[in-house]
């Protein structure tokens, strides 16, 4: 984590746009909402982190080959195209586009997942993809 | 449309499995279906459901993330359901948040209504998003569960781990700061649970797959504390928590030099066992860590009957 969350917010307030959008901290937020239920001022910190991640994606300012934003992009593409996510394919695509060495470590888990029947190689998709609203592709961002 | 009901008037719970429950979290799906069957509660899978978007989709595009969940909520309405049951914590939260934001923010609500109409789906009309933990706690109740238990627990003490998104930021599944409902249900069927202070600390979610070291560290802390409190197993309510704590345990043990080999189970597996479900139909063979202990604790039905 390169900045603390408090520092991220301070940087936003003072307009250090590039520093915030290219940092790792915002991507390390796993959306556990711990801050959200503890904040006495009811600041929606998780939603704020999401906004910063989206800004970083939109302007391609996220740290290069950092696996978390790559995972988000691959996930997004998969869901938009097929309506469902397929865990194994998602991990493969994420690793190939960020750090293929991740796969070396993953491979040993593949076997135990296969053995226990927990790995599905099927490419999932919904039957009525046409029902996915057309705006999935380009809705205007709504402030929240 | 009236709510889906069985011929005898029993309620049918419309069920949203999500992606994990058909792959890495298949034991959760199996044990949930088994448990509901043993309780005479009907589960019906939502037809043609789509991905909830989890946390990743929201990082790219917020507006259409709400549309994804709106389609699922609308499909539930289409079959007449007033409620949708989502066992995965991430699915639960995304659906719940969508329902909340659609009602609170007119701009989001307007976009959602417009796009559902264009897709030929019914507009949202307050479908309630529910988690099985809270369904069992509220609709069935601790007392009823106690009466229905048919097996005596012969296993060890358990740490109930609630994780993040099922109990935060909404407080309907349980209290965000000190959830106890899983403990209460387990204790009702005779399973001793320990006081586990880290029960709502994050497992890192997908961090184990992206920034591996950080993810492992978070799970190491969770395992170590459970062990320190005298727990021999951990029980979860989320497929991602179960995956992280179960699958990476050997690697965590290697790195830390400590031995764990703890079973990491779903609460539905333990409750299902107490109610008479069998090993296979509860997905108990799908655990990777602590499988010896699992085999010892959950001996086959015939053996138990011969034993009693």
Q: What is the pLDDT of residue A139?
A: 40
pLDDT-derived band at A141, boundaries 50, 70, 90: very low
Q: What is the pLDDT of residue A136?
A: 67
| Contact criterion met (CB < 8 Å) for B209 and A33 | no
To 10 degrees, the CA torsion angle through B298, B302, B306, B308? 50
**What is the rounded CA–CA span in Å between residue B284 and residue A46?**
35
A8 touches A53 (CB < 8 A): no
Mean pLDDT confidence for B106-116: 93
pLDDT-derived band at A143, boundaries 50, 70, 90: very low
Q: What is the pLDDT of residue A116?
A: 95
pLDDT digits 0-9 by tens, B24-57 = 999 999 999 999 999 999 999 999 999 999 999 9
**What is the rounded CA–CA span in Å between residue A101 and residue B142?**
48
**What is the rounded CA–CA span in Å between residue B99 and residue B76?**
13
Q: What is the pLDDT of residue A28?
A: 96
- B241 has a pLDDT exceeding 60: yes
- A122 has a pLDDT exceeding 80: yes
Phi, psi of B235 (to 5 degrees): -120, 135
Mutate which of A42, A65, A76 to test chain B, going by most B C-beta atoms within 10 A? A76
Least confident range from B9-23, B67-81, B85-99, B265-279: namely: B9-23
B116 touches B74 (CB < 8 A): yes
Mean pLDDT confidence for B196-215: 95
pLDDT digits 0-9 by tens, A36-89 = 999 999 999 999 999 999 999 999 999 988 999 999 999 999 999 899 998 888
B252 touches B263 (CB < 8 A): no
Mutate which of B20, B61, B72, B202 to test chain A, going by most A C-beta atoms within 10 A? B61
Residues of A in contact with B205 (CB under 8 A): 30-32
| Contact criterion met (CB < 8 Å) for A76 and B105 | no
Q: If you average pLDDT over every residue of chain B, what do you get? A: 94
| Contact criterion met (CB < 8 Å) for A118 and B26 | yes
- How is the beta sheet containing B12-15 ordered, strand by strand? B42-45, B12-15, B83-85, B128-130
Mean pLDDT confidence for B119-123: 92
* H, E, C per residue of chain A: CCCCHHHHHHHHHCCCHHHHHCCCHHHHCCCCCHHHHHCCCCCCHHHHHHHHHHHHHHCCCCCCCCHHHHHHHHHHHHHHHHCCCCHHHHHHHHHHHCCCHHHHHHHHHHHHHHHCCCCCCCCCCCCCHHHCCHHHHCCCCCCC
From the list B163, B208, B20, B50, the residue with the least C-alpha distance to A68 is: B208
pLDDT-derived band at B7, boundaries 50, 70, 90: low
pTM greater than 0.90 (yes/no): yes
**What is the rounded CA–CA span in Å between residue B96 and residue B201?**
21
Task: Compute the nearest-CA separation of B143 from chain A (Å).
Answer: 31
B205: DSSP letter: T
Tokens of A65: 């080959």
Least confident range from A3-7, A9-13, B61-65, B129-133: namely: B61-65
Residues of A in contact with B111 (CB under 8 A): 135, 139, 142
- In B173-267, DSSP assigns E strands to 233-236, 264-266
Tokens of B24: 């890495």
Tokens of B175: 């209290």
Q: What is the pLDDT of residue B5?
A: 72
**What is the rounded CA–CA span in Å between residue A56 and residue A50?**
10
B23 touches B39 (CB < 8 A): no
Tokens of B138: 């509220």
Residues of B in contact with A137 (CB under 8 A): 64
Task: Compute the nearest-CA separation of A14 from chain B (Å).
Answer: 23
The sign of the torsion formed by the CA atoms of B211, B253, B231, B196 equals negative
* CB proximity B96 to A under 8 Å: no
The residues, any chain, with a CB within 8 Å of residue B256's CB and separated by 6 or more, are B220, B224
Percent of all residues in chain B with a pLDDT value above 70, rounded to a whole number = 95
* CB proximity B209 to A under 8 Å: yes
Q: What is the pLDDT of residue A131?
A: 80
- The ipTM, to two decimals, is 0.91
- B120 has a pLDDT exceeding 50: yes
């Amino acid at each position: 984590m390169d900045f603390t969350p408090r520092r991220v917010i301070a940087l936003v307030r003072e307009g250090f746009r590039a520093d915030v959008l290219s940092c790792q901290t915002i991507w390390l937020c796993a959306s556990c909402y711990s801050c959200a239920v503890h904040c006495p001022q009811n600041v929606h910190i998780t939603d704020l982190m999401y906004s910063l991640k989206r800004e970083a994606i939109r302007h391609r300012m996220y740290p290069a080959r950092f696996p978390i934003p790559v995972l988000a992009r691959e996930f997004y593409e998969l869901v938009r195209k097929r309506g469902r996510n397929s865990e194994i394919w998602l991990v493969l695509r994420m690793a190939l586009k960020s750090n293929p060495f991740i796969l070396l470590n993953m491979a040993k888990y593949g076997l135990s997942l296969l053995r226990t029947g927990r790995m599905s190689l099927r490419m999932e998709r919904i039957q009525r993809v046409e029902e996915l609203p057309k705006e999935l592709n380009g809705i205007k961002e709504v402030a929240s | 449309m009236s709510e889906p009901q069985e011929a005898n008037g029993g309620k049918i719970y419309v069920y949203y499995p999500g992606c994990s429950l058909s792959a890495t979290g298949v034991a959760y799906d199996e044990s949930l279906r088994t448990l509901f069957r043993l309780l005479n509660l009907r589960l019906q899978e939502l037809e043609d459901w789509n991905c909830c978007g989890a946390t990743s989709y929201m990082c790219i595009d917020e507006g259409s993330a709400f549309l994804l969940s709106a389609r699922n909520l609308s499909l539930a309405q289409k079959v007449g359901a007033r409620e949708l049951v989502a066992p995965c914590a991430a699915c639960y939260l995304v659906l719940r948040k969508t329902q909340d934001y659609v009602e609170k923010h007119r701009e989001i609500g307007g976009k959602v209504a417009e796009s559902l109409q264009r897709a030929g789906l019914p507009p949202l009309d307050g479908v309630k998003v529910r988690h099985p933990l809270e369904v069992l706690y509220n609709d069935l109740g601790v007392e009823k569960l106690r009466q229905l238990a048919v097996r005596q627990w012969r296993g060890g003490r358990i740490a109930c781990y609630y994780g993040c998104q099922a109990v935060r930021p909404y407080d309907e599944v349980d209290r965000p700061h000190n959830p106890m409902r899983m403990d209460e249900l387990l204790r009702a069927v005779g399973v001793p649970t320990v006081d586990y202070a880290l029960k709502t600390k994050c497992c890192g979610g997908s961090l184990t797959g992206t920034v591996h070291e950080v993810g492992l560290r978070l799970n190491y802390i969770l395992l170590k504390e459970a062990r320190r409190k005298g727990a021999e197993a951990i029980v979860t309510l989320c497929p991602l928590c179960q995956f992280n704590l179960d699958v990476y345990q050997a690697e965590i043990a290697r790195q830390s030099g400590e031995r764990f080999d703890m079973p990491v189970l779903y609460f539905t597996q333990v409750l299902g066992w107490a109610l008479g479900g069998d090993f296979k139909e509860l997905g108990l063979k799908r655990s990777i860590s602590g499988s010896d202990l699992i085999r010892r604790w959950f001996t086959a039905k015939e053996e138990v009957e011969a034993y009693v």
